[in-house]
Amino acid sequence: MTPRRFDTTSYLTAGDVSRPLTGTPVKARRDLALAPAMSHTGRRIEEELALDDFLSDSEA
């Protein structure tokens, strides 16, 4: 399984569809800039809120 749209660029361009980030930070081995970006912004993005993007990816 290949992770989709969970990289730093996708995270930072998701817009204002977030909730406060909670929990213990972990290092994202496939994208080393992701954890620092998430810690800096302090927000989490719910997959359901990016559903249109996921669906358009599957059509391509």
Which pLDDT tens digit goes with each residue over 1-46?
345 667 888 888 877 767 898 998 888 888 999 999 999 999 888 7
Q: Label residue 48 by pLDDT band (50, 70, 90).
A: confident
- pLDDT of 55 > 90? The answer is no
CA nearest 10: which of 22, 52, 25?
52
> Quick one: pLDDT at residue 32?
92
d(CA 58, CA 2): 12
pTM reported for the whole predicted model: 0.69
> Quick one: pLDDT at residue 54?
67
User: Which residue ranges make up each domain of the chain?
Assistant: 8-59
Structure-block tokens of residue 51: 């559903």
